[in-house]
Amino acid sequence: MLWAVLAGCCLLLLIAAVGAVSAAPRQVLGAKAADCAACHGADKVLPDSHPGVKDMKWKDCQACHTEGKMSLVGKMPGSHRHQFSGVDCAACHGKGQPEPLAMDKCVSCHGPTAKLAEKTAKVKPENPHTSPHYGTELDCTLCHKQHAKNENYCNQCHKFDFKVP
């Protein structure tokens, strides 16, 4: 009985964590990089006065969207970095049913976790990519959420004050 309750709780947590993708999988299966409508719906996303975005690159968006309410940097899940840098959904999730990523997908582009830990070695109060509990092998998606707000996983027990990009 307890096992069934725990399994149900885990399922609810999983649904909450990936709800945005799982809620409309057909909608995002064929999504291309910077395809706003794939995630935000087919209704008008941009005003008529906005320049066409079909062939726009991330740096072009940043020409206007860097400050205040119009900022795309740090205001939205994953800050749209993958989409605007030309990485489409299938590059990470594959062409089938979207599923949460395994850490090996992250490190295939971002490099080995030990190298990431070297890059953030001077972050204070603690290096977020290594710990006495997990070494450098903590799953990336515990902090870095592409489809939800990023969070500091360590703060469940500790009070480390650093921003998760």
- Average pLDDT for 145-159: 81
**Of the residues 69, 99, 129, the one at which a domain ends:** 99
Q: How confident is the model at residue 1 (pLDDT cuts 50, 70, 90)?
A: very low
The CA–CA distances, whole Å, from 31 to 130, 148, 162 equal 34, 18, 32
What is the structure's pLDDT at 118? 92
**Of the residues 99, 124, 143, the one at which a domain ends:** 99
* Percent with pLDDT over 70 in the chain: 59
**Does residue 2 sit within a domain?**
no
Domain range holding 22?
Answer: 16-99
Residues 21 and 87 occupy one common structural domain: yes
Say if residue 125 is preceded by a cis peptide, omega within 30 of 0. yes
**Does residue 10 sit within a domain?**
no
Q: Where are the alpha helices (DSSP H) in 94-152?
A: 103-110, 113-119
Predicted confidence (pLDDT) at residue 3 exceeds the cutoff of 60? no
The CA–CA distances, whole Å, from 165 to 13, 131, 140, 145, 152 equal 22, 18, 12, 9, 10
Mean of pLDDT over the chain: 70
Task: Tell me the pTM.
Answer: 0.55
- Average pLDDT for 74-90: 66
**Does residue 6 sit within a domain?**
no
pLDDT, tens only, 16-38: 443 333 333 444 555 565 566 66
Residues 23 and 83 occupy one common structural domain: yes
Q: Which of 54-58, 62-66, 104-108 has the highest mean pLDDT?
A: 104-108
Distance of CA 31 to the CA centre of its chain: 16
**Does residue 77 sit within a domain?**
yes
Q: CB 39: neighbour CB atoms within 10 A?
A: 18
pLDDT, tens only, 108-141: 888 888 888 899 889 888 888 888 888 888 888 8
What is the structure's pLDDT at 5? 37
Distance from first CA to last CA of the chain, Å, rounded? 40
What is the structure's pLDDT at 164? 76
Q: How confident is the model at residue 161 (pLDDT cuts 50, 70, 90)?
A: confident
Residues 28 and 65 occupy one common structural domain: yes
With b meaning 16 or more CB within 10 Å and e meaning fewer, what string describes 109-148? eeeebeebbeeeeeeeeebbbbbeeeeeebebbbbbbbbe
User: DSSP label at 135?
Assistant: B
What CATH number did the domain enclosing 116 receive? 1.10.1130.10
Residues 128 and 139 occupy one common structural domain: yes
**Does residue 127 sit within a domain?**
yes
Residues 138 and 108 occupy one common structural domain: yes
Question: Residues 129, 113: contact at Cβ < 8 Å?
Answer: yes
**Of the residues 99, 125, 155, the one at which a domain ends:** 99
